[in-house]
Structure 1
Amino acid sequence: MYAREYRSTRPHKAIFFHLSCLTLICSAQVYAKPDMRPLGPNIADKGSVFYHFSTTSFDSVDGTRHYRVWTAVPNTTAPASGYPILYMLDGNAVMDRTDDELLKQLSEKHRQ
């Protein structure tokens, strides 16, 4: 009549333990450091048949941050409406993956 049913707390403890481990693993990745190795030569350094590049360097007012801005201009005459423009933040990643084949495609689309 007053018999008490015994339930094991083991499944709850196991679930809590596994969720705690998962949380620790996921939070450890938050502290991952960015890759600060210098970039290798990119398309702006190598040159292109379809675009010419210029590089301008800027320093912050306090001199602690340094910025490099690449400008790519097609080697074709500008249309009456002017060249289209694209601004990219973190262009290092883009410049590292851009090749002459992509610039050729962009140049051909630009002529149409």
Structure 2
Amino acid sequence: MESTRQQKISRLLQKELADIFQKESRTMFMGKMISVTTVRVTPDLGMAKSYLSIFPAEGIREVLKEIRIANPKIRFLLGRRVGKQIRVIPQLEFYIDDSLDYIEKIDDLLKS
């Protein structure tokens, strides 16, 4: 069960990361559309797991690799945006959110 503080920080990070990806995706991430679906923050607010949805689906692994390489720059940009609201900027981890693929697979199974 997440605390209220964790939920507020998660929403703030999700909003700001989405804005960063929207502005930086053209130059840094091969022009892919990247949306932040969920951010989960640890109780000590030191680690944030971000789940990303990447469109189009071709080359997702390469884009995720580029995002992980650019992690320090993304964290720096995030720190400049939320530095007045959060004392310590959490370490960022990025994962692919495959829930839409899972939903599509179940939908296909139900149709047949």
Would you tell me which structure has more helix in proportion to its own residues?
2
TM-score by length of 2: 0.29
TM-score for the superposition, normalised by structure 1: 0.29
Q: Considering only CA atoms, is the larger Rg found in Structure 1 or Structure 2?
A: 1
Structure number having the greater strand percentage: 2
